[in-house]
Structure 1
Amino acid sequence: MGNGRGSDLGGFLRSRRERLTPAAAGIEPDTTPRRVAGLRREELAELAGVSVGYYTRLEQGVSASASGAVIDALAAALRLDAAEHEHLRTLAAPQRPTRSRSRRSTLRPSIRELLGALPGVAAIVIDHRTEVLAWNPLGHALLASHVDIDAPDTRVRPNIARMLFLDPHHRALYRDWPAKAQVTVAALQQAVARHPGDRLLEQLVGQLAVDSPEFAKMWARRPVQTCSYYVRELDHPLVGRVALANETVSLPDDDQQIGLFYARPGTPDADALALLAQSIAPTREENPR
């Protein structure tokens, strides 16, 4: 993690500059030896229409903000996609106090009621730190049956990112673990930009970077992506291999997300999900915890 807003902005710019080759940027090849595969600072500055000195200050973290016009020009020069462009805007925006710097997230009662109304869908709610705020019984059985179902209500909540990188049981669930891990790291990158100074979030990233070399390597690449729909292939210990649609619904007022896992009716995957629901029905009420 960077040590400040300026270093976060500079690190992201540098990562994207080093990723972009001269050919991809439309720059004619020259005979001068290049120390790196990506663009030189002066090449990017020229493409964006800013001075080399100004761009250098941004990349070195001396300047922590830039105008919207400059950010748009840099995004165009770097060939950023929509998610990366928005992330760059967030990093360059003037820092404002955030109410969630040290406060635990809370779940609205209406969202808990919503989870209870989804008995055939596995559902989970996480906050911007990827802490689990709630799950319905099917969501718990699908994603974390080895964890106490009441764990979201305890002082130390389950955390999806921590489980994904440090819990072998949860990791083994995902047949597409690299893709799931990449999405999770990208979500944390964007959360850090939205919540500068969030002590609990910084502690999480720091712990993962120390305890998981894979996380540290992914974090250094500064991935950014936004997608609300995936097909997740899981290896569940009870029902075996199952492919489920994973829809993510954002709750922007709370900076939380609802993850929904479901199967197309009449498919073997739907049968597997129904079998999992049947396995927990005799002993657990269909109320979210």
Structure 2
Amino acid sequence: MTSNDLGEFLRAHRARLRPDDVGLASYGARRVAGLRREEVAVLAGMNSDYYARLEQGRERSPSPQILEAISSALRMDDEAREHMFRLAGIAPDGERPQPRETVSPALRQLLDGHRNAVAFVLNPANDFLASNALADALFSPFENVDNMARMTFLDPAARSFFTQWGRAAEAVVAGLRHATGLDPHYWRLRDFVGSLAEASEEFAALWSAHTVHGKTRDAKDLLHPDVGPLALTYQTFDVRGASGQQLVIYQAEPGSPSDQALALLGSLHATSRQESATEQ
């Protein structure tokens, strides 16, 4: 991240829109993709010089009314709008406490109680803080189960594990972008993004697109070397009382081939652990 995150965010959103997307006529050759600054200013009903200063980082105190106008002009969805407000230092819920890095015993017990579902806890930087046995089995193809973003971009296993790798990569980056708006001063997230951008050109390119959305509910199409294809859905829950922590649960449709494969995976993993314990 840079000292002008708001300006970069606005430029990225401006580049995605064409004049006909917003009801404007297009005149003359365009040197860059998307709308011109002057066009955004017209749509937002503001002075074009003021908008230019916002993008350049020379104006750092826009009012909520200005941000609302820009949000409308750039056709932002709710998550992008919220992220823009937070980048401008106007968080609707006020300052959040720093994320907690340890998982409570009660939450660990809850994870272990999900015997037929994959359950794990992430912090805003996508570090794994805790996982149940089935999650350990699911992610066993990876060399280290430590950070979802690092695993997605740097572990070779990811390219076959995520059958739609591009979609999975975009979702991970968009989630990290969302987290930077919620926790802009979180040291771990800033450090991690910087190091991963240096290590992966693909991550750096997606990060520069400034796409934002949080984890909610979606499908996951996976390929596990031990049990084959897995069509799962996931849901994400904020952990009350533990700032920044998210409980993620992967499930299969009951009675489906993926449900049977997930059960087999859990059984194979349990057997392997028992054999390892016996050898020791």
TM-score scaled to structure 2, two decimals?
A: 0.89
Contact 1:137/1:284 (<8 A) preserved: no
The alignment status of 1:55 with 2:51, answered yes or no, reads yes
Contact 1:83/1:224 (<8 A) preserved: yes
Q: Which one of 88, 107, 114 corresponds to residue 84 of structure 2?
A: 88
Contact 1:65/1:91 (<8 A) preserved: no
Which amino acid letter does the alignment assign opposite residue 235 of structure 2? E
Residues 134-173 of structure 1 mapped to structure 2, 5 A cutoff: 134-144=130-140, 146-147=142-143, 158-173=146-161
In 2, distance between residues paired with 1:282 and 1:143? 16
The alignment status of 1:25 with 2:25, answered yes or no, reads no
> Helix, strand or coil: the match of 1:226?
coil
Deviation at 1:71, TM superposition (A): 0.9
Contact 2:216/2:236 (<8 A) preserved: yes
> Helix, strand or coil: the match of 1:281?
helix
> What runs of 5+ residues in structure 2 fail to find an aligned partner?
275-280
In 1, distance between residues paired with 2:76 and 2:142? 40
Residues 256-275 of structure 1 mapped to structure 2, 5 A cutoff: 256-275=245-264
Relative to 1, partners in 2 of residues 1:174 and 1:218: Cα closer, same or farther, differing over 3 Å? same
Deviation at 1:62, TM superposition (A): 1.6
Contact 1:163/1:171 (<8 A) preserved: no
In 2, distance between residues paired with 1:259 and 1:177? 19
Q: Which one of 12, 22, 47 corresponds to residue 9 of structure 2?
A: 12
In 2, distance between residues paired with 1:201 and 1:171? 24
Contact 2:123/2:245 (<8 A) preserved: yes
Deviation larger for 187-196 or 78-87: 187-196
Q: Which one of 169, 188, 191 corresponds to residue 200 of structure 1?
A: 188
Contact 2:173/2:206 (<8 A) preserved: yes
> Helix, strand or coil: the match of 2:75?
coil
Contact 1:248/1:260 (<8 A) preserved: yes
In 1, distance between residues paired with 2:141 and 2:16? 40
Residues 239-250 of structure 1 mapped to structure 2, 5 A cutoff: 239-250=227-238
Contact 2:196/2:203 (<8 A) preserved: yes
In 2, distance between residues paired with 1:186 and 1:146? 22
In 1, distance between residues paired with 2:214 and 2:95? 25
2:124 match:
128
In 2, distance between residues paired with 1:146 and 1:81? 34
Deviation at 1:97, TM superposition (A): 6.8
2:217 match:
229
In 1, distance between residues paired with 2:38 and 2:271? 67
Deviation at 1:245, TM superposition (A): 1.3
> Could you list the runs of 4 or more consecutive aligned residues of structure 1 that deviate by over 4 angstroms after TM superposition?
94-99, 145-148
Contact 1:125/1:133 (<8 A) preserved: yes
In 1, distance between residues paired with 2:129 and 2:216? 19
In 2, distance between residues paired with 1:33 and 1:234? 45
In 1, distance between residues paired with 2:164 and 2:142? 20
Deviation at 1:275, TM superposition (A): 0.4
RMSD after superposition: 2.1
In 2, distance between residues paired with 1:36 and 1:169? 37
In 1, distance between residues paired with 2:48 and 2:240? 38
Deviation at 1:227, TM superposition (A): 4.8
In 2, distance between residues paired with 1:24 and 1:252? 40
In 2, distance between residues paired with 1:170 and 1:142? 12
1:155 match:
none
What percentage of residue pairs aligned between the two structures are identical?
A: 39
Deviation at 1:119, TM superposition (A): 0.6
In 1, distance between residues paired with 2:143 and 2:199? 21
Q: How many residues align?
A: 271
Contact 1:66/1:93 (<8 A) preserved: no
Deviation at 1:105, TM superposition (A): 1.1
Contact 2:122/2:130 (<8 A) preserved: yes
Deviation at 1:56, TM superposition (A): 1.2
Contact 2:100/2:244 (<8 A) preserved: no
